Each structure stands twice: as structure tokens, then as C-alpha cells.
Amino acid sequence: SALRKTTKAGTFPCNSNRCETCTYILCKDQVAISNTQKVYTILDNYSCASSNVVYMITLGQHFCSQNHSLQDLQVLILKENFKTGWESKIYEFKCMELFNK
């Protein structure tokens, strides 16, 4: 992936002038796991320029309500650079199980 200006762990905007995803990036290095006392920690540094990623899209409960739009959506990259599509699918499934408890 492209060199990043920051080395702090977490998800960050790439800040490219052409990037349409930066607006939706959730800048965090941890996310709470619903219905538990646990936290998922992002161990590396990711941005919208990262490739081969597994990501989480957060939506408010009101997302489909009147007067809400894509601006209420946020993207958090959980991991990148999987060697195979199968490896990323396995990780994606594990994350879905973890966050959908």
C-alpha cells in the first residue's frame, strides 16, 4: 500500500484530493463489540488507499429514516493485505460473527 503520513494504528483518511471515501472514514483504533465488555483493537495503520481490506460499515439505527443520507455512514478498516480472497473471506466471516453477537 501507499506510504502514509502517520504510523499510529487505526483507520485514517488518505487525504487524496480525488478520494470520495475520506468523508466516510471513521478515525479510530478500537471499536466496541456489541453486547460484550470487549473491544476490537486495530493493530496496524489503514486508510482509504489500503487494498485487500476487510472493513466495517457503521450505521445509526435511524439510517433508513427520513432526512438521513450517506453522510450518516462510516467506514472502519479492520485489516488489509490478505494473501488470497479465501483468506479475506475467512477473516470477514470471523468479524461478522464477532460483531453480530
For the stretch 39-94, pLDDT in tens is 999 999 999 999 999 999 887 655 566 666 667 789 999 999 999 999 999 999 99
Cα–Cα dist 10/97, whole Å: 21
pTM check: above 0.85: no
Beta bridge partners of 57: 75
